[in-house]
């Protein structure tokens, strides 16, 4: 793949991915803002438990095949479609089996996750498992070919479901069922549209040797997904076991709203990054160049976002969730700041490992983090809910240290080069924080705080542009943008 062709595909893919994800991620927090004022925190706690179970089982239905189809170098289209068929039939069979088991043992599952009596809710919510088997393979093939334009069209239809289904149902008094029904409807439409639009259609072709070859990669990817699930949900499991559904709802919904804000940046770039790096896995020089460019772009955008949410956590909480959720301000602030650091210095590293065909590295990083995370969460939980909240937010920075070690020792990317690459936005964010400290108390009311935030962003970008490396990058991006606009 030559440089000009690659740049064109990256720009086109990023454009459609960005439009898709920005619109969808704007709808998500808007929907949550509305529903947070209609549904009690306790009911969000129920949703958190259901989502925890569904997300866990869903990992096994995909079995890591989606990442394999994106990363693997196929000989031709015929071979790619053979592998896609085997992956689809395997996904569908596993999803039906797991859904059946959940229906049979639904009450036991509900008790296990600390929500006795929710067996039927969990069983009904898991109907989406076989539904997603129809869309995950098509989605992987589109991403592999950088065809994010089709995904944009499909996503534009499905992202409206929460607004058209969940909110009206909540108004009618369906409480947490409004979110469950909305999610199932969204997955159903997503599967139908992707299947109809796709050039590849599933057939009954199956070959054991193909499955064995995919499993050699996918099992490691699946194990990595399980470890990521544990790091994501272990705190929810502990909180759900020790405190009320009220605090579980406050905690998980706060994390969800922050993750949605972070996804405004990450979800439009990371899928493209993985697809591009997978095509460049044998070209170390271009691989490193693309990674550093994307990392810098993500850092420039996400670090000030996380910093502002931390500095203005009380105001952000009031705007996003309303007065009934004001207790969540410390959760939102700490999670936002650490999330910005994690995305830039940890999450992107996982994309590097997978693109290089080495998911074992990401699995090792996650397992090493779990060794620290689980005992820390268990110990801190004995000192109260808020001690667990602060500890959980900051202990995950241990994963940054592990990933920096792996990037240097195994991948061969110097840590100093990575830190130097993201240094300008980090320094600029520190100056923004200092500026906020000095203007504290000068602005009052809603309009005053908005002005204060805008001044903080202004300080950030003024300091940022003083760095020569940033100025040169901006010139390159502007040239690329002009070229795209003229075409």
**3-class SS of residue 487:** coil
C-alpha–C-alpha distance, residues 270 and 343, integer Å: 10
> CB count, 10 Å around CB of 79?
12
User: Which of 251, 204, 207, 263 is closest to 393 using CA atoms?
Assistant: 251
Q: Please give the distance of CA 439 from its chain centroid, rounded to a whole number.
A: 34
Of the listed ranges 9-13, 43-47, 205-209, 391-395, the least confidently predicted one is: 9-13
Q: Tens digits of per-residue pLDDT, 306-328?
A: 999 999 999 999 888 888 888 89
C-alpha–C-alpha distance, residues 411 and 382, integer Å: 39
The predicted structure's pLDDT at residue 38: 80
The predicted structure's pLDDT at residue 312: 95
Q: Which residue has the higher pLDDT, 429 or 245?
A: 429
Half-sphere exposure of 262 (CA within 13 A, CB side): 25
Q: How much is the pTM?
A: 0.73
> CB count, 10 Å around CB of 435?
18
Average pLDDT over residues 48-58: 82
C-alpha–C-alpha distance, residues 79 and 168, integer Å: 46
Q: How confident is the model at residue 476 (pLDDT cuts 50, 70, 90)?
A: low
- Give the helix ranges, DSSP H, for 382-444: 385-395, 398-406, 415-439
Is residue 460's pLDDT more than 70?
Answer: yes
Q: How confident is the model at residue 147 (pLDDT cuts 50, 70, 90)?
A: low
C-alpha–C-alpha distance, residues 184 and 187, integer Å: 5
The predicted structure's pLDDT at residue 475: 62
The predicted structure's pLDDT at residue 203: 82
Is residue 480's pLDDT more than 50?
Answer: no
The predicted structure's pLDDT at residue 458: 95
Top-ranked range on mean pLDDT: pick from 246-260, 289-303, 353-367: 289-303
> CB count, 10 Å around CB of 76?
7
Residue indicated by tokens 């929810």: 236
**3-class SS of residue 341:** helix
C-alpha–C-alpha distance, residues 108 and 121, integer Å: 13
Top-ranked range on mean pLDDT: pick from 281-285, 322-326, 395-399: 395-399
Check the CA dihedral 227-228-229-233 and report its sign.
Answer: positive
C-alpha–C-alpha distance, residues 231 and 402, integer Å: 15
Q: How confident is the model at residue 485 (pLDDT cuts 50, 70, 90)?
A: very low
User: Which of 136, 137, 133, 129 is closest to 200 using CA atoms?
Assistant: 137
Q: Tens digits of per-residue pLDDT, 108-131?
A: 888 887 777 888 999 999 898 888
C-alpha–C-alpha distance, residues 315 and 67, integer Å: 39
- Quickly list DSSP for 60-77: HHHTTHHHHHHH---SSH
**3-class SS of residue 15:** helix
The predicted structure's pLDDT at residue 483: 43
Number of domains in the chain: 1
Top-ranked range on mean pLDDT: pick from 50-54, 147-151, 200-204, 425-429: 425-429
Is residue 186's pLDDT more than 60?
Answer: yes
- Give the helix ranges, DSSP H, for 118-175: 119-125, 128-144, 148-158, 161, 167-171
Average pLDDT over residues 216-240: 78
**3-class SS of residue 149:** helix
Average pLDDT over residues 355-375: 86
Domain that holds residue 399: 3-486
The tokens describing 119, both together, are 């067996």
Q: Let me know how long the chain is.
A: 487
- In the chain, what percentage of residues exceed pLDDT 70? 86
Residue indicated by tokens 């039906």: 96
Query: What average pLDDT does the structure give for the chain?
Result: 81
Is residue 487's pLDDT more than 50?
Answer: no
The predicted structure's pLDDT at residue 416: 92
C-alpha–C-alpha distance, residues 425 and 467, integer Å: 10
> CB count, 10 Å around CB of 452?
20
Is residue 382's pLDDT more than 70?
Answer: yes
**3-class SS of residue 159:** coil
Q: How confident is the model at residue 481 (pLDDT cuts 50, 70, 90)?
A: very low
Q: How confident is the model at residue 429 (pLDDT cuts 50, 70, 90)?
A: very high
Q: Tens digits of per-residue pLDDT, 4-41?
A: 455 545 555 455 555 555 565 566 667 777 777 788 77
Is residue 376's pLDDT more than 50?
Answer: yes
Average pLDDT over residues 257-284: 78
**3-class SS of residue 53:** helix
Is residue 194's pLDDT more than 50?
Answer: yes
Average pLDDT over residues 168-185: 87
C-alpha–C-alpha distance, residues 123 and 117, integer Å: 12
Q: What are phi and psi of 267, to 5 degrees?
A: -70, -20
The predicted structure's pLDDT at residue 335: 95
């Amino acid at each position: 793949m030559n440089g000009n062709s690659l740049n064109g595909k990256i720009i086109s893919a990023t454009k459609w991915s960005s439009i898709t994800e920005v619109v969808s991620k704007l709808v998500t927090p808007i929907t949550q803002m509305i529903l947070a004022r209609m549904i009690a925190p306790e009911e969000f706690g129920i949703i958190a438990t259901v989502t925890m179970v569904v997300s866990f089982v869903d990992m096994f239905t995909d079995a890591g095949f989606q990442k394999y189809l994106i990363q693997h170098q196929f000989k031709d289209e015929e071979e790619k479609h053979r592998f896609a068929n085997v992956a689809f039939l395997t996904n569908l069979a596993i999803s039906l089996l797991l859904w059946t088991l959940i229906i049979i043992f639904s009450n036991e599952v509900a008790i296990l996750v600390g929500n006795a009596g929710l067996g039927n809710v969990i069983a009904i919510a898991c109907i989406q498992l076989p539904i997603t088997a129809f869309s995950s393979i098509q989605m992987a093939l589109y991403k592999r070919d950088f065809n994010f334009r089709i995904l944009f069209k499909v996503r534009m239809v499905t992202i409206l479901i929460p607004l058209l289904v969940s909110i009206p149902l909540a108004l009618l008094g369906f409480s947490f069922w409004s979110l469950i029904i909305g999610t199932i409807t969204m997955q159903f439409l997503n599967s139908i549209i992707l299947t109809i639009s796709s050039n590849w259609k599933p057939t009954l072709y199956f070959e054991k040797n193909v499955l064995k070859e995919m499993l050699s990669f996918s099992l490691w990817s699946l194990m990595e997904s399980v470890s990521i699930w544990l790091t994501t949900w272990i705190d929810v499991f502990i909180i759900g076991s020790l405190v009320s559904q009220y605090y579980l709802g406050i905690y998980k919904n706060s994390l969800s709203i922050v993750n949605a804000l972070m996804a405004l940046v990450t979800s439009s770039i990371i899928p493209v990054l993985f697809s591009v790096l997978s095509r460049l896995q044998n070209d170390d020089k271009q691989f490193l160049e693309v990674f550093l460019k994307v990392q810098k772009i993500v850092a420039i955008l996400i670090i000030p976002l996380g910093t502002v949410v931390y500095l203005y956590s009380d105001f952000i909480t009031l705007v996003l969730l309303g007065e009934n959720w004001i207790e969540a301000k410390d959760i939102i602030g700490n999670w936002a700041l650490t999330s910005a650091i994690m995305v830039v210095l940890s999450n992107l590293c996982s994309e590097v490992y997978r693109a290089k065909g080495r998911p074992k590295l990401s699995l090792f990083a996650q397992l090493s983090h779990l060794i620290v995370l689980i005992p820390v969460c268990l110990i801190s939980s004995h000192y109260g809910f808020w001690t667990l909240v602060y500890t959980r937010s900051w202990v995950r920075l241990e994963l940054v240290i592990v990933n920096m070690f792996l990037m240097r020792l195994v991948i061969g990317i110097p840590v100093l080069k990575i830190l130097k690459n993201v240094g300008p936005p980090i320094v600029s964010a520190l100056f923004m924080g200092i500026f906020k400290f000095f203007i504290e108390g000068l602005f009052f009311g809603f309009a005053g705080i908005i002005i204060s935030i805008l001044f903080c962003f202004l300080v950030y970008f003024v300091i940022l542009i003083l760095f020569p490396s940033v100025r040169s990058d901006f010139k390159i991006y502007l040239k690329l943008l002009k070229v795209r606009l003229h075409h």
